[in-house]
Amino acid sequence: EVQLLESGGGLVQTGGSLRLSCAASGFTFSDYAMSWVRQAPGKGLEWVSAISGSGGSTYYADSVKGRFTISRDNSKNTLYVQMNSLRAEDTAVYYCANSGYSGSWYDGFDHWGQGTLVTVSS
């Protein structure tokens, strides 16, 4: 059974940093691209970033480009996102997700974690 478990969320001050992790199990992690998707309280879904299975290719939403860095450690089956220069508008539940049926980053997400809440406040 595929499992994605996010951690690392919490309260951080404006301008601060936080690193989220997503521990994966139940599949060959390195064969699958991964993404982060966020959802601000009471709002819709927003794609944040994606990374290829090897980690060699990364993609970002304009809203986080230059501030967030996605990475992965295939030896630990773990996905990360380093979030710097955090703003109030980054407050959201952050989900990791992937396309289990294709492995591609450019596809629909049929596997999701339960999310971790990041709150940015002054």
Partner 1 sequence: SYELTQPLSVSVALGQTARITCGGNNIGSKNVHWYQQKPGQAPVLVIYRDYNRPSGIPERFSGSNSGNTATLTISRAQAGDEADYYCHVWDSSTGVFGGGAKLTVL
DSSP for 33-65, written as a single string: -EEEEEE-TTS-EEEEEEE-SSS--EEE-TTTT
Q: Is residue 81 within 8 Å of 20, Cβ to Cβ?
A: yes
CA 102 to CA 88: how far, in whole Å?
Answer: 35
Q: Which is nearer to partner 1, 35 or 91 (CB)?
A: 35
Q: Which is nearer to partner 1, 53 or 115 (CB)?
A: 115
Of 29, 32, 80, 109, the one binding partner 1 by CB under 8 A: 109
Phi-psi bin for 3: left (phi > 0), alpha (psi -120 to 50), beta?
beta
Of 5, 27, 40, 59, the one binding partner 1 by CB under 8 A: 59
Q: Which is nearer to partner 1, 16 or 91 (CB)?
A: 91
53 part of the interface to partner 1, by CB under 8 A: no
Binding site for partner 1 (CB under 8 A): 35, 37, 44-47, 50, 59, 61-62, 95, 101, 106-110, 112-115
